[in-house]
Amino acid sequence: MAKEVIKKLLNKLVPDLNIIKDHKSLQFLGNRLHDPNLWHLNRSSVSIAFAVGLFVAWIPTPGQMAIAAIGALYFRGNLPISVVLVWITNPLTMPPLFYFGYLVGLSVLNLPEATFSLSSVLSGDILLPFLTGCLIVGSLSSILGYFGINLFWRYRTSIKWDLRKQKSIFNKAAKKNPFKATDFTFK
């Protein structure tokens, strides 16, 4: 059910595939846009999209969506999902998330804490622990996202197969004796 909801949402948000492929400003990409993994929802492409999107979300630079799109093209992940995941770090969540990255960088580099502000990052006073922390947290998020989606997808697939198997057994029993296969109990 969740897959159908995601498909409907993506169909509403993403323009028609042929329009994107024939767009004049995207012709430099050639046949890269024709790769089915960029647009289909399957375990591999969604896992890669989560890895790319979560890693790029921790890159403290403008243009994260473009970087995520390039990463999805290069690694053949789902393009819309990788671009949307970048918005985990939006203007509201960016300060606390990047502060967390800064704290991780401090603990890894074993440096004393300084005042965390945009001016101290831009001046270079805390740039090393900030970038180190963002790289570490981005890498961990990427790895956890990739394997987490892989495991979740396999788990959901095994549940669906089990339900299909049970339904098949029930249907076979109902064909042999329709009165015996019912779940009704009479007291």
Domain boundaries, the chain: 16-176
pLDDT of residue 124: 83
> What sections of the chain are H helices per DSSP?
2-13, 17-21, 43-57, 64-75, 79-85, 94-109, 118-123, 127-176
pLDDT of residue 132: 95
Whether residue 183 has pLDDT greater than 60: no
Which residue would you say has higher pLDDT here, 64 or 166?
64
Q: Whole-angstrom Cα distance, residue 81 to residue 6?
A: 10
Residue 117 DSSP one-character state:
-
pLDDT of residue 174: 65
What are the residues whose beta carbons fall under 8 Å from the beta carbon of 182, sequence distance 6 or more?
174
- 178: pLDDT confidence band, cut at 50, 70 and 90? low
pTM: 0.75
Which residue would you say has higher pLDDT here, 174 or 70?
70
Each residue of 87-102: pLDDT tens digit? 999 989 999 999 999 9
